[in-house]
Amino acid sequence: MAPTTTRTPLTPRTPVTAVTAVIAAKDEAARIVSTISAVRGIDGVDLVVVVDDGSSDGTAALAGGAGAIVVVHPRNRGKAAAMATGAQAVADLDLREPAVSGRPRDLLFVDADLGASALNLAVLTGPVASGRADMTIAVLPPQATSGGGHGFVVRLARKGIERLTGLTPAQPLSGMRCLSRGAFEAALPLARGWGVEVGLTIDVLGAGLRVLEVPCDLQHRVSGSDWRGQFHRARQYRDVWLALAVRRLRPMARGLRAPLRGLRRLVRIRGRN
């Protein structure tokens, strides 16, 4: 289903380095306004795009009121789809209103539940703007409230990334990332759902680009140990596992392509004789 877009009359600030923040949000009425306000305070962030992924709590209206460009998925499509929609909205903006730098805007992906602490994401943009890194990833401090998980998903993601790339990420599932447009495109099509971060790290590194983890003082809503939290982790586990499986099988699929092409040619020649 095509997303619907609500434009709000927000004049882009003249960017020093043009970075557009993309926030995928589902039912984040409690925190979306403070997160947007904080992100708009980051130097170089010219616009904030919120992709509301089928929320039923008024997130979209609140985001528009807080000065974001809002794109709505009428039905829930998952985090990766929301990030892809947001990045497409930024690409459209690059065509309509190019940044003064003349190059595509960098993308700063931000979770909606960071509140005022999102201002500290400022440390992610510099290394990408200067070309020192193609993707930066926020490493969060211990959180004020402890989570209810046992670290299964984090370990699966970390080991999987390590096996495929050699990098051992401190926080493989961290959603706060800044990427150049080139780095983002290296990861297309995105891994689905909650596998998106693992897919981004593997694909960006696989394209020979540079990834930098940066400590960042952020506080988010930690998933608890109730059934909702456990369900969230189960879906994360499934999506991360799938993202890794696809990326493990890719070289094999590539390896098979040439012999298959040869076989097809042989069959065609035989058919002609």
Ligand X SMILES: Nc1nc2c(ncn2[C@@H]2O[C@H](COP(=O)(O)OP(=O)(O)O)[C@@H](O)[C@H]2O)c(=O)[nH]1
Q: Which does 24 bind (CB under 5 to 8 A by kind): Mg ion, ligand X, none?
A: ligand X
79-96 and 196-206 helices, crossing angle to 10°: 60
Return the sign of the alpha-carbon dihedral for residues 12, 16, 19, 25: negative
Closer residue to Mg ion (CB): 24 or 99 = 24
Judged by CB under 5 A, which of 220, 233, 240, 244 binds Mg ion? 220
Amino acid at 55: S
Judged by CB under 6 A, which of 18, 19, 24, 135 binds ligand X? 24
Binding-residue total with ligand X (CB under 6 A): 16
Q: Which helix (H) or strand (E) holds 66?
A: none
Q: Which two tokens stand for residue 10?
A: 């927000």
Helix (H, G, I), strand (E, B) or coil at 7: coil
Residues 173-232 that bind ligand X (CB under 6 A): 175, 220-221, 223
Binding mask 99-138 for Mg ion (x = CB under 5 A): --------------x-------------------------
Closer residue to ligand X (CB): 89 or 129 = 89
Residues 91-150 that bind ligand X (CB under 6 A): 111-113
Q: Does 18 bind ligand X (CB under 6 A)?
A: no
The sheet with strand 177-179 has its strands ordered as 4-6, 69-73, 45-53, 19-25, 106-111, 177-179, 135-139, 211-215
Answer for the pair 8, 68: CB distance below 8 angstroms, yes or no: yes
Answer for the pair 210, 133: CB distance below 8 angstroms, yes or no: yes
Q: How far is the CB of 111 from Mg ion (least distance, A)?
A: 5
Question: How many Å apart are CA 137 and CA 133, to the nearest integer?
Answer: 10
Binding site for Mg ion (CB under 5 A): 113, 220
Binding site for ligand X (CB under 6 A): 24-26, 28, 53, 76, 78-79, 82, 111-113, 175, 220-221, 223
